[in-house]
Chain A
Amino acid sequence: MTAFRHLRGWEALLLILLAIILAANVSASPFYLGVGNLVNLFQLSIEKVIVALVMTLIIINGEIDLSVASIMGLSACVLAWLFQMGVPVPVGILAGLAAGLIAGAFNGFWTAYVGLPSLAVTLAGLIGFRGIARILLEDRAIGGFPEWFNTLGQQPVLGPLTLPLIIFFILFAVFAVVLHASAFGRLVYVIGNNAEAARYSGVNVKRVKMTLFAASGLIAALAGLLYAARLGSVRGDMAEGFELDIITIVLLGGVSIFGGSGNLLGVGLSILIILNLRNGMGLANITGNTQTSVIGGLLILSVLVPNLTEMAVNKWKGRKA
């Protein structure tokens, strides 16, 4: 019960934070809440935000996937490598997605079936998959994709919405249903709370973990391809370091790093907070690196402040009794 109340409190906290940031941004520019700016806001970090959705499930499951950014780079490089050899782009896209699925399944195999810690497995993946991407492209930058491919990443296709944005909203709905309204979603929480207990109650822990890692690989690959379409060119070091931003989004959303708790509503709010904060700071001429520091500080404070409050309250109660 207390955990439940804590969770509600968390989302309230995020909502207040979001309101403050929005108010500050709107007071700085009256056009801030225009549709154009909001679409632009999402569009600039859309790939990270998409991967954060699947990362939420992985972390609730009690695991972590550090290799997502490398898989993003890998899928884009597979596409570019094939394109350069004269393979049509649609085939390249399928190959890129397949590469991501295989990479994710590879992580899943070692984590679920061999039983290695996912932190170590996906750290190896982070380095190894990036390595494969570099082998494919070496230090070249591949561009000149067909016009329709770049348009998909950059131009609105439905009203003001771009394709990546539409994919994000669809995936958000899909993951919300899977996590909060399906048997599979309950298993994700149960395993995250206590994998041993889940196994003894007959849950197929291995299959759930395998599914999640494969899904993570596939979605990271999709995000990598969208990133390639948005930028219009591909390099071996593409999306390098994105994993930290993605994990930060998820953890700020109130998902416990130890698994078993958190929800997509919190992550959705966290996405809005981070995007608006970065955008607002950008408007105030604060550089990207300082923005990252501020978000790092926010990440620590978001856990530290509730902890300190709880400790203070407990101490106060103890003195009164």
Chain B
Amino acid sequence: MTWLQSRIRPEQVRELSLLLLIVAAIIFFGSMIDSYYTSRTFNRIASSVAIIAVVAVGQTLVVLTRNIDLSVGSIVGFTAYFVGTTIAGDNTIHPLVAVALAVAIGGVMGAINGVIVAWGRVPSIIVTLGTLAIYRGILIEYSGAKTVTTDSLPAWLIDLPRLNLFVIEGLEVRVLVALALICVVVFQIGTSYLSFGRRLYAIGSNPDAAALIGLPVKRIVFIAFVLCGALSGLAGFMFLARFGNITVEAGRGLELQVVAAVVVGGVNIFGGSGTIVGALLGAIMIGTLEQSLFRLQISEFWRDALLGLLILLAVASDAVILKRLRALWTRADLKLIDKPPGAAAGESQPR
């Protein structure tokens, strides 16, 4: 037990249990739905999770610093629409330019949030509640109630959602899904090993202490918001590619799904703990549930009620189980201190 405890942290046990829960859900749905284990199901779930996951990565960065970004849905909608009209107006725009444009617009919107939160000292929930309305309002004014339609978009963009990066035994991995996975991997490594990433945790655990030891708290919070905005911009591009038809309502309410994914994934809403992979697992859990209930022929109206219950269970188990686990780990640490360590005692310090 102690051997095991010195190698994994209680938080990882939690992620493992979420993974098991996802597997259990898939087995359950597999027994209920005919031809569930097909590449079609996988693709459906994967493409819907991909967009949520990218935004959830950005949201996690912000939530880790004890902030929240409620404006992500509006940023996704704005970038999807803006990039959509730009491409519709000029079909010769290079794909990479389009992606860069989406990321840049999202980044600027995130930077506006970040400046007001970090240097204006306005609570993030107030700022992003405000920009949620403002960004959406600008979009509606700018659009003049027109919509982007699929037939005005170039062929490469329409084909993009069905474009495979590679195929393993009939399991197609779409480019957009791979893009989401790359985001997850890059930011998971970044938050685990880069000093910037560790500082996010330090600030979220105790902002005052972080300032006292000389961390540039304002700059780091600002960068977290910029990254969150940029990732939302990227998600906006993916949204455009996936749906093609973009109205001014695009992405409305997405912030709730994203916050739900982050919370289900075990990221502490008060900052300081949680991982990017956890947020991805949360997004997968919600996406699997949504798409599978849809297939199950149960009235779609049950979906939200179950989703609400799931979020509550996830948060409750997080609080209750994690507390127990941490106590168990601390006791193991105390034992190690009692009997000076053989090996690897240093690794078992709980965060």
Q: CB-CB < 8 A to A120: which residues of B? A: 263, 269, 311-312, 315
Q: Which of B122-130, B179-187, B190-198 contacts A (4 or more CB under 8 A)?
A: B122-130
Annotate A212-234 by CB proximity to B: 1 below 8 A, 0 otherwise.
Answer: 00000000000000000000000
- Report yes or no: B301 in contact with A300, Cβ–Cβ below 8 A: no
Chain B interface, >50% SS class: helix
A129's partner among B121, B133, B308 (CB-CB below 8 A) is: B308
Contact between A244 and B132, CB atoms less than 8 A apart: yes
Number of interface residues of A (CB under 8 A): 46
| CB-based contact B315/A121 at 8 Å | yes
| Contact flag A297-B134 (CB < 8 Å), given A121-B312, A303-B123 | yes
Q: How far is the CA of A308 from the CA of B119 in the complex (A)?
A: 9
Residue of A nearest to B259 (CB): A123
Interface residues of A in 281-319 (CB under 8 A from B): 287, 289-290, 292-297, 299-300, 303-304, 307-308, 311
Interface 9-mer from B135-143, B200-208, B213-221: B135-143
- Tell me whether A92 is interfacial, beta carbon within 8 Å: no
Pick from A123, A135, A139, A311 the residue with the most CB of B within 10 Å: A123
**Contact yes or no, A124 B309, CB < 8 A:** yes
A279 to B270, CA, bound (A): 38
CA distance A204 to B136 in the complex (A): 43
| B298-333 near A? 1/0 per residue, CB < 8 Å | 010111111111011001100110000000000000
A14 to chain B, nearest CB (A): 16
A125, A236, A299, A304: the one contacting B308 at CB < 8 Å is A125
* B9 smallest CB distance to A (angstroms): 21
**Interfacial chain B residues near A127, Cβ < 8 Å:** 256, 260, 304, 307-308, 311
Task: Please indicate the chain B residues that have their CB under 8 angstroms from the CB of A297 in the complex.
Answer: 130, 134
* Contacting pair B134 A131 (CB below 8 A): no
Report the bound CA distance from A225 to B170 in whole Å. Answer: 53
Decide: B132 and A296 in contact? CB cutoff 8 A: yes
Contact B129 A299 (CB under 8 A): yes
A236 to B301, CA, bound (A): 10
Residues of chain A within 8 A of B341, CB atoms compared = none
Residues of B within 8 A of A129 (CB): 308
Least Cβ distance of B133 to chain A in Å?
3
**Across the two chains, which residue of chain B brings its CB closest to A118?**
B269
User: Which residues of B from 110 to 167 have beta carbons under 8 Å from A?
Assistant: 116, 120-123, 125-127, 129-134, 136-138, 140-141
Q: Is the CB of B315 within 8 A of A296?
A: no
Docked pose: A95 CA to B301 CA in angstroms: 21
Contact across chains for A131 and B301 when beta carbons are under 8 A apart: yes
Bits for B229-259, please: 1 = Cβ < 8 Å to A, else 0.
0000000000000000000000001001001
- Digit string of A112-125 for contact with B (CB within 8 Å is 1, else 0)? 00111101110111
Are A110 and B120 neighbours in the complex by a CB distance under 8 Å?
A: no
A308→B137 contact, CB < 8 A: no
Interface pair A132/B133, CB less than 8 Å apart: no
Residues of chain A contacted by B120 (CB below 8 angstroms): 303-304, 307-308
Most buried by A among B259, B303, B308: B308
Minimum CB–CB distance for A71 against chain B, Å: 12
A213 to B: closest C-beta gap in Å: 14
Known interface pairs A110-B316, A128-B309, A292-B137; A117-B130 also in contact (CB < 8 Å): no
Q: Considering the chains assembled together, what is the distance between the CA atoms of A310 and B205 in angstroms?
A: 27
A303 touches B126 (CB 8 A): yes
**Residue numbers in B under 8 Å from A196 (CB-CB):** none
What residues of chain A lie closer than 8 Å to B132, measured between beta carbons?
A: 244, 296
Check A247 for interface membership: any CB of B closer than 8 A.
yes
Contact B316–A290 (Cβ < 8 Å): no
Cβ of A131 and Cβ of B311 under 8 Å apart? no
A130 CB within 8 Å of chain B? yes
Contacts of B269 in A (CB 8 A): 117, 119-120
Q: Measured between alpha carbons, how far is A110 from B318 in the docked complex, in Å? A: 13
Distance between A227 CB and nearest chain B CB, rounded to angstroms: 20
| A123–B308 alpha-carbon span in the complex (Å) | 8
Closest CB of chain A to B129's CB: distance in Å? 6
Q: Is the CB of B122 within 8 A of A117?
A: no
Find A114's partner among B302, B303, B319 (CB 8 Å cutoff): B319
In the complex, the answer to whether B122 meets A128 with C-beta atoms within 8 Å is: no
Contact A128 B304 (CB under 8 A): yes
Kindly list chain B residues whose C-beta atoms are within 8 Å of the C-beta of A292. Answer: 133, 136-137
CB contact under 8 A between A128 and B129, given known A123-B259, A138-B299, A293-B134: no
A293 contacts B137, C-beta separation under 8 Å: yes
Question: What residues make up the interface of A, taking CB atoms closer than 8 Å to B?
Answer: 110, 114-117, 119-121, 123-132, 134-135, 138-139, 236, 241, 244, 247-248, 251, 257-258, 287, 289-290, 292-297, 299-300, 303-304, 307-308, 311
Chain B contacts to A: CB under 8 angstroms: 116, 120-123, 125-127, 129-134, 136-138, 140-141, 253, 256, 259-260, 263, 269-270, 299, 301-309, 311-312, 315-316, 319-320
Question: Besides A117-B270, A123-B263, 11 other CB < 8 A contacts?
Answer: A115-B319, A120-B315, A123-B259, A123-B311, A127-B307, A128-B309, A248-B130, A258-B123, A293-B137, A296-B130, A307-B120
Closest 4 CB pairs of A and B: A128-B308, A293-B137, A131-B305, A131-B304
Q: Can you list 5 pairs linking A and B with CB atoms under 8 Å apart?
A: A121-B315, A131-B301, A138-B301, A300-B122, A307-B122
